[in-house]
Amino acid sequence: MAVEYETHEHDVIVIGAGGAGLRAAIEAAAQGVSVGLVCKSLLGKAHTVMAEGGIAAALGNVWPEDNWQVHFRDTMRGGKMLNNWRMAQLHAQEAPERVLELERWGALFDRTKDGLILQRDFGGHRYARLAHVGDRTGLEMIRTLQYHAIHQGIDVYMECKVERLLRDGERIRGAFGYWRNTGAFVLFKAKAVVLATGGIGKIYEITSNSWEYTGDGHAAALWAGADLIDMEFVQFHPTGMVWPPSVRGIVVTEGVRGDGGTLRNNQGERFMFRYVPEFFKAETADNEAEADRWYEDKRNNRITPDLLPRDEVARAINAEVKAGRGSPHGGVFLDIGTRRPPDYIKKRLPSMYHQFKELAGVDITKETMEVGPTCHYVMGGVRVDADTTQSTVPGLFAAGEVAGGLHGSNRLGGNSLSDLLVFGRRAGLYAALYAKDLGGRVVVDTAQVEAIARELLEPFTRPWNENPYAIQAELQETMQDLVRIIRTESELRHALRKIDGLKDRAKKVRVEGGRTYNPGWHTALDLRSLLTVAECVTLAAIERKESRGGHTRDDYPKTEAEWGKENVVVRQKNGTIQIAREPLPEMPAELRRLFEEKK
Amino acid sequence: MPATVALAVARYRPEEEPAPTLQTYEVPFREDWVVLDALNYIKDRLDGSLSFRWSCRMGVCGSCGMKVNGTPVLTCAAFLSEHLPGPIRVEPLDYFPVVRDLVVDLSDFMRKLKKVKPWILREEEKPLAEGEYRQTPDQLDAYKQFSMCINCMLCYSACPIYGLEPSFIGPAAIALAQRYNMDSRDQGARERLEILSGYDGIWQCTFVGECTKVCPKNVDPAGAIQQYKLTSAVHWLKTLLPWGAR
């Protein structure tokens, strides 16, 4: 029986309409090719909208000493030197121009006294570097990009979920998916595809990520033959809300600490001073007076340990709670109320003020917040060429969270929004150039398409009765309990066995009702990518036998120099996931010098 | 406090039934739960076919707008405890076609959004190398409030004018136009004049003010509309002047 589907054809298809996808679509359209922008939710609702703190860019508006070399150095050190150096260089060099461009397109920024874009302090950044508007920077960024894209007349396919990428033996040929509204199938024929699908946070129980973050792009790329790298590195944001339970995991912006907030345990101690690793000792304040002076005078003081990179802070909080020095609900205390005046807090952190007031009944200008780690970001992703963002599959490009490499083993706050702009633009540009070079018509194998369509419909007719929500919930528990901030081989192997069991059960999922906006069916289809990325994370975590950034092994607690030269690569061959260790690109001598001078 | 609370949820499955019906579910009552938590409980545990939109849980994405006991709200900010004893009635937003259950079709708004040209319009652009356009705190204050809109559509659902006259461009779109009109970097006010002052624009509004009451971000669309009416009237008066003061 033939399966019905509609067909659309574009030079470039962009999958995902958060910051990276929108920026890619804008750039590709500016190159004069035909662009289709496909997104799973309504336009303007993507995960970028939730970003709070700001966009890292060495504009030098607040501290003229700042420049791309300092930003580059901070980014590499934050990632424990596992970053792709070329991506980190391009990112630091181009971020200021991308921010200015956003300002040109109408983005509202908080300003300095002179009317320049104001910049705020954030973890791991030597200087106040984050361009921002209050604590709702993501909202402003996505609106600006969204309206700019609408202005350009880009074709947008909203609430349309891509399930598979299509390729022939040689290269990418398009994508196949369905309309969430009607359940009808859609075929996109395209010369180039840009993946901008974001992250994988929904494999965890406690996460800041929205329902959309089911790893669709990571999984689709893997199935299409692309390499993934660094999948073991998952970022737990140190300060998620822990109470009440219904809001557990929602992020409390690092801007709270950037604007003067400090972490305390239940003894009232500012415990971060005890957790400064050797790697950051020389550049971090070792007493409270110096740390507090640093906010005003960065020339003569070292940065507060409250603003160490996120992996360090998350591990420290984890250790304090484990040692019995935590807050009543299993976190620690974050205090800004005793450190800054109420008016300042409300002006700088309006959303945080309202979030705690409304959701937790806490007045942060008077009371401390309870916070703890929450799954926030995946550093790993599609392996790309630094300059063009092209994956190992010709015609497949990736930008933003779905791409790997820029952040190494740990991402600095603020470097995500700038990543979206810098590499979103590059992805759109090089995808357009690729499409222009590629002659001829795009031919898609209809048998391949029909086979996928039939597979997607299977959950309606299976003779079993597994519940898709129950499987997703069990996967989240498994990852939360066994592939944690602190990991060990036995628990990781246990997780792998559980994932295998869930994969078998996922094949027996049955859903009721029709195809019109059917959430049970949507979840049934998401399971395949959720389980795939969970397996990738776990396998990569088993492989890396050291501790670094967002990957801490109880059984291998040291950071090993040898491992600092290798990525763990995940790829699929003949239907099974394979793991390899491959060398990192080597940094040229003139950049290496930036790290030697300050020793 | 009760152990459970009843939710009467609007169900509509277009392939199966001609009109929406209310279906009642009993969910655990918890002090910290919002209506969205209860809906997710229903979807995950009681009835996997219940459809609704949501995303961020923190009041910034604007996806989860519905009517709770008749009032348009973000369900991620509507506590069950504020609506006791129940049953709590949950329905899709008014004046938009229902796709299924609590999901409505927002394409009308997407079209209107484009009409008000929500982007910076300038006669000339200075090169990026010359840095940003400077803005003083006063210049920011002139439009900041109107920039807070999260496109949640509560204001359309609350607007009786939009209910009667679907071509009315509506509160959020007008506030958005005003956001750009009041931006010191923008020179496009004249281009937006036609749509805003035209038949479907601001003069439809009889200043009911419901839009401002339901806005979860204090954007004050009603204020934007009043502000623009004044601008538009002044502009119209000027067109009458013989010496071309335009």
Model pLDDT for residues A93-140, shown as the tens digit of each residue = 999 999 999 999 999 999 999 999 999 999 999 999 999 999 999 999
Q: Give yes or no for B28 touching A (CB within 8 A).
A: no
Position B147 scores a pLDDT of 96
Interface of B with A in 142-171 (CB under 8 A): 143-144, 147-148, 150-151
- Residue A179's DSSP bridge partners are A160
Position A489 scores a pLDDT of 98
Q: Which of A517, A522, A525, A526 to mutate to test the interface with B (most CBs of B within 10 A)?
A: A517
Taking contacts as CB-CB distances below 8 angstroms, the residues of chain B near A354 are 59
Residue A376's contacts (CB-CB under 8 Å, 6 or more residues apart) are A201, A207, A208, A209, A235, A236, A237, A240, A251, A310
Residue of B nearest to A466 (CA): B48
- Which residue is it, tokens 């609350």? B158
Position B245 scores a pLDDT of 46
Question: Which of the 8 DSSP states describes residue A253?
Answer: P
Nearest Cα of chain A lies from the Cα of B232 at a distance, in angstroms, of: 23
The span from the first CA to the last CA of chain B, in angstroms, equals: 65
- Which residue is it, tokens 């004046």? B95
Q: In degrees rounded to 5, what are phi and psi of residue A502?
A: -70, -35
Q: Is the pLDDT of residue A550 over 90?
A: yes
3-state SS string over A77-112? HHCCCCCCHHHHHHHHHHHHHHHHHHHHCCCCCCEC
Q: What is the mean pLDDT of residues A436-454?
A: 93
- Is residue A194 within 8 Å of A55, Cβ to Cβ? no
Interface touch B61/A45, C-beta < 8 Å: yes
- Is residue A403 within 8 Å of A113, Cβ to Cβ? no
| Angle (deg, nearest 10), helices B107-115 and A137-152 | 80
Nearest Cα of chain B lies from the Cα of A440 at a distance, in angstroms, of: 34
Position A599 scores a pLDDT of 44
- Residue B117's DSSP bridge partners are none
Sign of CA dihedral A128, A133, A135, A140: negative
Q: Is the pLDDT of residue A364 over 50?
A: yes
Question: Considering CB atoms only, which of A110, A150, A468 is closest to B113?
Answer: A150
Residue of B nearest to A471 (CA): B44
Question: Considering CB atoms only, which of A139, A354, A517 is closest to B103?
Answer: A517
Cis-peptide, bond into residue A583, ω within 30° of zero: no
Selecting among A148, A257, A484, A487, the annotated active-site residue is: A257
pLDDT tens readout for residues A208-247: 999 999 999 999 999 999 999 999 999 999 999 998 888 9
In 3D space, the residue among A520, A477, A246 whose CA is nearest the CA of residue B29 turns out to be A246
Domains and CATH numbers, chain A: 237-373 (3.90.700.10), 455-583 (1.20.58.100)
Interface touch A41/B55, C-beta < 8 Å: yes
Distances in Å between the Cα of B191 and the Cα atoms of B117, B123, B166 are: 8, 12, 23
A257 given a catalytic annotation = yes
Q: Which helix (H) or strand (E) holds B154?
A: helix B154-158
Position A244 scores a pLDDT of 87
Inter-chain Cβ pairs, chain A and chain B, closer than 8 A = 148
- Is residue B68 within 8 Å of B89, Cβ to Cβ? yes
Position A440 scores a pLDDT of 84
Interface touch B132/A117, C-beta < 8 Å: yes
Q: Where are the domains positioned within chain B?
A: 4-104, 107-239
Distances in Å between the Cα of A245 and the Cα atoms of A254, A375, B8, B42 are: 21, 15, 24, 17
Q: Is the pLDDT of residue A88 over 60?
A: yes
Q: Is the pLDDT of residue A2 over 80?
A: no
Low-confidence ranges of chain B (pLDDT < 50): 244-246
Sheet (strand A228-229) strand order: A381-382, A228-229, A566-573, A576-583
Interface touch B55/A244, C-beta < 8 Å: no
Which CATH number is associated with domain B107-239?
1.10.1060.10
Question: Which of the 8 DSSP states describes residue B8?
Answer: E
Question: Considering CB atoms only, which of A42, A150, A250 is closest to B114?
Answer: A150
Give the global pTM.
0.96
Cα A20 to Cα A194: distance, rounded to the nearest angstrom: 10
Sign of CA dihedral A116, A122, A124, A126: positive
Taking contacts as CB-CB distances below 8 angstroms, the residues of chain A near B123 are none
Nearest Cα of chain A lies from the Cα of B152 at a distance, in angstroms, of: 10
Cα A319 to Cα A313: distance, rounded to the nearest angstrom: 10
Nearest Cα of chain B lies from the Cα of A13 at a distance, in angstroms, of: 21
Q: Is the pLDDT of residue A598 over 70?
A: no
The number of beta carbons lying within 10 Å of the beta carbon of residue B210 is 19
Q: Give yes or no for B186 touching A (CB within 8 A).
A: yes
Question: Considering CB atoms only, which of B32, B59, B113 is closest to A246?
Answer: B32
Q: What is the mean pLDDT of residues A34-44?
A: 97
Interface touch A519/B77, C-beta < 8 Å: no
A164 given a catalytic annotation = no
Q: In degrees rounded to 5, what are phi and psi of residue B68?
A: -115, 120
Q: Give yes or no for B136 touching A (CB within 8 A).
A: yes
- Is residue B121 within 8 Å of B186, Cβ to Cβ? yes
Interface touch A469/B43, C-beta < 8 Å: yes
Q: Which of A40, A93, A143, A158 to mutate to test the interface with B (most CBs of B within 10 A)?
A: A143
Cα B179 to Cα B132: distance, rounded to the nearest angstrom: 19
| β-pair type (A5-15, A130-131) | unpaired
Taking contacts as CB-CB distances below 8 angstroms, the residues of chain B near A101 are 128
Domain B4-104 coded CATH 3.90.1530.10: no
Question: Whole-number mean pLDDT of chain A?
Answer: 96
Interface touch B63/A513, C-beta < 8 Å: no
Confidence label for A32 from pLDDT (cuts 50, 70 and 90)? very high
- Is residue A146 within 8 Å of A133, Cβ to Cβ? no
Burial track A377-406 (b if 16+ CB lie within 10 A, e otherwise) = bbbbbbbbbbeebbbbbebbbbbbbbbbbb
Per cent of chain A over pLDDT 70 is 99
